[in-house]
Every structure is written in structure tokens, then in C-alpha cells.
Structure 1
């Protein structure tokens, strides 16, 4: 059984509020912020980055959605997060590249494992681009 609880709050910013959001984003960079109790608190870099992204989108008048990722993902959801087709993801599961467990007859993947694989795939793609650039340089130096 799956229970979904959704809370939706729509907040539209006026142009003055958008400008204030832009100013606040520029001031976030690792400086202390004042929390509701009036105390200063240092935001961790990751948290400041989340606020920065949210405020940038709001300052531009774009919609923002924030949600917690479930501990386990379906193969369809994981494939979407990875930018892969579901059959390609299942191939990676069969190869042992990412662990999966079964719930009934369906595979599930831990979100932490999916995010780890996402980082690995990004690094592999980045390395492939560098390899192609090196090959181009090598070919260019061999053909004067």
C-alpha cells in the first residue's frame, strides 16, 4: 500500500519581491543568515545552493517544486532520473552495476544507489568527452 500526501502552496512574487529574491541570492554566498529566533546561523554550502536555485527560479517567475525522494524507486522512476531507458537500466541491474531488490515480481532500487550511479555516469560521460578531445589533439598534431 502506498500513501501519498501532497501539500501544494502556490506563491507568486511581485516584481519587487522578485528583485528582493535576486538580491538575497547574491548575498547568500557562504555568509551567516539570521533565522526566525534572531540568531545567526551558517548555512552549509549544499543548503545555500538549494536556496539559491529556488530563489533564482522564483526571481525569474518560474514555478518551483521541491519534494523528498523516496528511499526506494521503481525502475521507471530510476530510469527517468538517470536519463536512461528502462531496458538499459535493467541491463545495468543484470550486470551488477547497480543493486536492486524485488518487491513481489517488481524490481526496486535504493535512491542512494541511483544517485551514486548518476554521478558515475556523469563522470564517465565527462571522461569520454576528454578522451575525444585528446584524440582530436593527437590527430591534429599528426596531420600538419
Structure 2
């Protein structure tokens, strides 16, 4: 196995039959080990095995996978794409200080770790907001068990 530098790398899905075989293996084997061509082996930690399963699952859906170290920096467009928002919306978040950035020249750069942290915090805040909304709705008796059909019968 060659050692790659720690830059971003994108992997595209291999052929379907190979993925199906790998997916079936990962689903049926709870613990795995890595074996070298010389026959040496070492167990694969659960966290790494779980990630491998997620990678295989995404590839089998036809999605490409990008592996990048957390200190990787992104352009504003890459960060916006990762968050699923427009670049102008991301720039507003940067200018409000919600996501740290650097600007070594004319262009802003954002750390992948900071973007992932923002995404995680945003999702947690959204979940808390939805939980509160459900609680308020239940308290106001806005959930009804007696649904009335409005469909016309002919």
C-alpha cells in the first residue's frame, strides 16, 4: 500500500458486482482484520470498520467519496457545497463570525474541521428547535387523533 500525502482524495464507485460482494461481506462479518501480501495481519478497529461500511454503502448508491484530513482548507464554494447552501449565504455566515476563516490573499479559506463543526452545531440546534415545537404543539393540543377524511367519494 502506498502512503499518500494528506491532501483531499476523491474515490469513484467501482463496478457493481465488486461492491455487492464487499457490502455482503461487511454486513455478515462483525470484526475484520487487515492482511498484508506477506501474510501479516492486524485487527481493524471498530471505528475504521464502521467507516469502511459507510463508504461501501455510499459507493453502492453511486456516490463518490472524498477523504480529506480535518486540517484541510476549503474554498468558499467547496464549504458551501458541503453545507448545502449557496456561496453568498456562506459568505454571510463568515462575515458574521459564525464560521472562522482566513484570507491569505483575495480569497477566503475555511478549515474543513470548522465547517463540519458548524454543520454539527446547526443540526443539533435544528433538532432542539423541532423538539420544542413538538412539545409546544402537544401542549396546545394541536396534534389530533381524530383525522377527518376530506376526500370526495364518487
Please confirm whether the aligned pair reaches a TM-score higher than 0.5, indicating the same fold: yes
SS in 1 for 2:14: coil
Residues 9/111 of structure 1: CA separation in 2 closer, same or farther (3 Å cut): closer
Q: Which residue of 2 aligns with 1:35?
A: 35
In the alignment, is the contact (CA less than 8 A) between 1:28 and 1:52 conserved in 2? Answer: no
In the alignment, is the contact (CA less than 8 A) between 2:75 and 2:110 conserved in 1? Answer: yes
SS in 1 for 2:141: helix
Please list every run of 5 or more consecutive structure 2 residues that lacks an aligned counterpart in the other structure: 1-6, 145-154
Give the greater-gyration-radius structure (CA): 2
Task: Tell me: higher relative CO, structure 1 or 2? Use CA pairs within 8 A at least 6 residues apart.
Answer: 2
Aligned length in residues: 133
Q: Which residue of 2 aligns with 1:12?
A: 15
Q: Which residue of 2 aligns with 1:136?
A: 137
Matches within 5 A, 1:1-144: 11-14=14-17, 17=18, 19-29=20-30, 31-36=31-36, 37-45=39-47, 47-57=48-58, 60=60, 62-69=61-68, 71-140=72-141
Shift of 1:106: 1.2
Give the Cα separation in 1 of the matches to 2:91 and 2:10: 33
Please report the RMSD computed on the Cα atoms of aligned residues, expressed in angstroms.
Answer: 3.0
TM-score, normalised to structure 1's length? 0.73
